[in-house]
Chains A and B, each alone.
Chain A
């Protein structure tokens, strides 16, 4: 039988937009990405943007409300705290810690979790069983308690906080990666690789890892948001970063005492936390939508 050239069989397709433009149509996503971009810029260029030194005390202007209120001044747009420190500057500097801790903790937890998930899912057997039982035990511990215990033991400090959040946060990553690996393991391209003679470690690295990056990134963005809030909780409890460094959590703790009278001390850091966490989550969704359709469309 001779080879036949057949007329093209696919239905008529009309290309309307690129994936990027499709994303841009989603207004919520646009807002979220914009917010996150602003935060990142603020964090990086804090010294240039902040109107005041975040630690500069000026008792003459203590507890001033935000500028748009009657007793406020345009010098301190969001008001001042009980020591006369400018709230806006403190917020801007505080974003550095939040974003740094959030991102670092997520990366650390991601590396630990992904490695465990990959190995556990691919190799299976008693190895897998032991690792998953450890994961279960870890999950059963209230994470804040665990974090407190570790920080109490190691002492407070920026890097200790990151390490703690990283080492307590790996479980979600591991579980998701393991589930993905379990389903990938029986996919034909893995069988192919084994038939070619590729070593297990290479299979994990070259075939499995790139394919779990998508769910990994999703968990990652969720975790960044959670880590930011967790760091704030630790700072709020006085167990986080040293007092000289400005963090939103410490601002919240500080502002708690003044909630009835000077509400702005607590509300603005709270809002900042909430907006950042939301923005990170939504941006994560957006990233996934842009990256995925190209790879998985048939």
Chain B
């Protein structure tokens, strides 16, 4: 079933009296099925970041609508919107700035719980909260003892794990991952991707995976959407898009990816 849907989304920035301004997202429609990993691929200026913010309803679209589980997010009252947010969480790119440096890990991971479940606030809720945070940290491979530490005490990969734990706190159905491994060293990237795959299997999560790194996308995606300058150029099953891309831009994108195999490298002029 379709969990998240975008219909004719459009977002304009700036411009006065209908003149000038930038169209960041131009007539984008897509549908994400429950349980799949839907990859959104594009370079800078493609509009993919704006699109994720629109999908999460962190900004109002200029035109078009976003539907979660059939409900149009624009029409919802704040209380209803907050209910939907429980089911749709996000993991952002930069592990160094996606967490409040002055909050402890336990408060960071517990924030979604404290926000949505009043029972967890106050003295009595505190103990149960710690247990729950411990479970979440365990699920992402971090020992429970890290709860009282601060973000700056951890490496990039560890911080991403904490971010993922936070995203899972409310048992969401959908997680939007905006370049989750782009800021990580390649060795750590592999571990985080494995973790994400494992969690998806166990918790039946749906992922919207945004990335500019096609090799990573190939590893994780079921379906891919390619964006360029605000428009959706092509959408399709991953294997198909990689094997026989329909659009010229997609082809050039695939061709440009540096290949870690010197024999197949295209730019080599030295005589082998």
Contacts and interface: CB of A to CB of B under 8 A. Distances in A.
Interface of A: 1-4, 6, 9, 187-189, 191-199, 202, 206-207, 210-211, 294-298
B258 interface: no
Given A196-B112, A295-B101, A295-B152, A191 B190 contact: no
A188 B102 contact: no
Contacts of B150: 295
Contacts of B115: 196-199, 202
Contact of A1 (B102, B116, B190): B190
Given A188-B97, A189-B100, A197 B82 contact: yes
Q: Which 4 A-B pairs have the closest CB atoms?
A: A197-B85, A188-B98, A210-B102, A6-B187
Contacts of B90: 191-192, 195
Contacts of B85: 195-197
Contacts of A193: 111
Contacts of A191: 53, 58, 90, 92, 98
Nearest to B102: A210
A8 to B, nearest CB: 10
B56 interface: yes
B37 to A, nearest CB: 15
A211 B219 contact: no
A206 B166 CA distance: 16
A66 B206 CA distance: 82
B88 to A, nearest CB: 8
Contacts, number: 80
Contacts of A206: 100, 103
8 contacts: A1-B190, A3-B194, A191-B58, A193-B111, A196-B166, A198-B111, A206-B103, A298-B152
A206 B111 CA distance: 10
Given A188-B94, A189-B99, A195-B89, A1 B185 contact: no
Nearest to A195: B90
Contacts of A6: 187-188
Interface in B169-211: 185, 187-188, 190-191, 193-194
Contacts of A197: 81-82, 85-86, 112, 115-116
Interface residues of B, number: 36
A297 B58 contact: no
A154 B81 CA distance: 50
A208 to B, nearest CB: 9
A295 B102 CA distance: 7
Contacts of B188: 6
Contacts of A296: 101, 152
Interface in B145-172: 150, 152, 163, 166
B242 interface: no
B89 A196 contact: yes
Contacts of B185: 9
Q: Choose among A9, A194, A197, A295 the residue with the greatest number of B CB atoms under 10 Å from its CB.
A: A197
Contacts of A202: 115
Contact of B194 (A1, A188, A298): A1
Nearest to A193: B111
A1 B197 CA distance: 11
B56 A195 contact: yes
Contacts of A298: 96, 152
B100 A2 contact: no
Contacts of A198: 111, 115
Contacts of A210: 100, 102-103
Given A207-B100, A211-B102, A295-B102, A192 B92 contact: yes
Nearest to B156: A298
B93 interface: yes
Contacts of A9: 185, 187
